Structure 1
Amino acid sequence: MKVSNITTVTEFILLGIPFLHDLHSVFFVVGMLMYITTIMGNGFILVVVAIEPRLQTPMYLFLSNLAFLEICYTTTVIPKMLQTLVAAQTTICFYCCMTQLYLHFALGGTELFILTAMSFDRYLAICKPLRYPMIMTKHVCIQMSLATWYGGFFILFFQFLILLRLPFCRSNIIDHFYCDIGPLLSLACADTHIIELLGLFSSFIIIIMTLILTMVSYIFIISTILRIPSAMGRKKAFSTCTSHLIVVSILYGALTVMYVRPNMQSSSRITRVLAVLNTALTPMLNPFIYTIRNNEVKEAVRSMIQKKKGFLNNFRMFSRSYGYY
Structure 2
Amino acid sequence: MIDRNRDVSSRITRRQALGLMAAGAAAIALPSHARAAYPRRPIELVVCYGAGGTSDIYYRGLANILARELGQQFVVVNKSGAGSTIGTAYIANSVPDGHTVGNITEVMMRERLLGNGAFDPARDFTYIGVGASVPFGWAVRADSPIESLRQLVEEGRHSPEKLSYGAAGSARLPSWAMKVLESRTGARFMGVPFASSSAILTAALGGHIDLICDAVGAMAGAVAGGNMRMLAVSSEERLPQWRDVPTAKELGFDATTTLPYGVGGPAGMPADVVAVLEQALRKAYHDPEHQELIGKLNMASWIRLGSDFDSYMRTQYDALPGQLRAFGALNT
Calculate the TM-score normalised by the size of structure 1: 0.27
Q: Which has the larger radius of gyration?
A: 1
Calculate the TM-score normalised by the size of structure 2: 0.27
User: Could you say which structure has the higher strand fraction?
Assistant: 2
